[in-house]
Amino acid sequence: MTLIDLFMGIFFGLLALAFTYATTINMVNINPPKKPERVRSYPKVVIEKPKVNTKIKSVKPNPKPTINTTSQGNKDMVISGLVNIGMKKANAKALVARMCKNKYYDDAQKLFEDCFPHIN
């Protein structure tokens, strides 16, 4: 056996090995096919839970009904009169509201007279 025969045997042996290896790689699929998605044959049912109000509402007492209230027109006349004599409008409104809270006035003049002692 000569040296050339030895090299040729090794060469063809390696070639056969490489060929076998290459075909094995092609047989094994590197990226397998994806599984098909499951298709539901029934509709998806969503059940909503009823909302429960967990907050406790505070009970407010009913305000006392006032039958007789001083008319807004009378209040406006007294406020403008108090502003004309030099009182600030905000202070005049507060004074008239305080006076009308305790007593019913059917006349603007009586309300104006009752406001005089409280003017600074």
What's the CA gap between 11 and 22, in Å, rounded?
16
Residue with the two structure tokens 């007593």: 103
Question: Among candidates 92, 58, 53, which has minimal Cα distance to 76?
Answer: 92
Q: What is the per-residue pLDDT for 82?
A: 94
Q: What is the per-residue pLDDT for 6?
A: 79
Q: What is the per-residue pLDDT for 80?
A: 94
The answer to whether 79 and 93 are in contact (CB under 8 A) is yes
What's the CA gap between 79 and 93, in Å, rounded?
6
Arch. (CATH architecture) of 72-118: Orthogonal Bundle (1.10)
Q: What is the per-residue pLDDT for 10?
A: 84
What's the CA gap between 119 and 5, in Å, rounded?
133
Beta-carbon contacts of 28 under 8 Å, excluding residues fewer than 6 positions away, are: none
Average pLDDT per consecutive 10 residues, the chain (120 residues; last block may be shorter): 79 77 59 71 74 75 67 92 93 92 89 88
